Amino acid sequence: MYSDKVRHWGRRIGIGLLILALIALGAVLFSRGSRKDLLTESATAIEQTIKKSALQCYVIEGVYPPDLAYLTDNYGLQVNERDFIIHYEAFSSNLPPEVRVLIREDGEEITS
């Protein structure tokens, strides 16, 4: 009789732990998706900001900046290079640069 109660409570505790583990797994998977969505939106915003800064430089100086460092040094642009890889290629001083922002994710590059 006593062992039946112990088994009954043991099953309930086991089921409860299983449910908690599933909830925790769901929360982890949901938070990873949310972080990725946030990083994707941030990458798009960074790309637009870099393009606007390059255009501002063109309007003020009459030429597009030769590289990203020029924008950071002269226009106060700050970029999170820990989470993003910035591709900035200037073809000519009178043409807008090609700008792409890639998300760093565990050593991988994901195009945004």
Query: Residue 94 carries which DSSP code?
Result: T
For 8, list phi and psi in degrees, rounded to 5.
-60, -50
Question: Structural domain of residue 74, as residue ranges?
Answer: 2-111
Domain count, the chain: 1
Question: Of 64, 69, 63, which Cα lies nearest the Cα of 51?
Answer: 64
Measure the CA–CA gap between 48 and 31, rounded to whole angstroms.
26
Q: Where are the alpha helices (DSSP H) in the chain?
A: 2-61, 68-74
Measure the CA–CA gap between 28 and 24, rounded to whole angstroms.
6
Measure the CA–CA gap between 92 and 6, rounded to whole angstroms.
78
For the stretch 26-83, pLDDT in tens is 666 565 567 778 888 999 999 999 999 999 999 999 999 999 999 999 988 888 888 8
pTM comes to 0.65
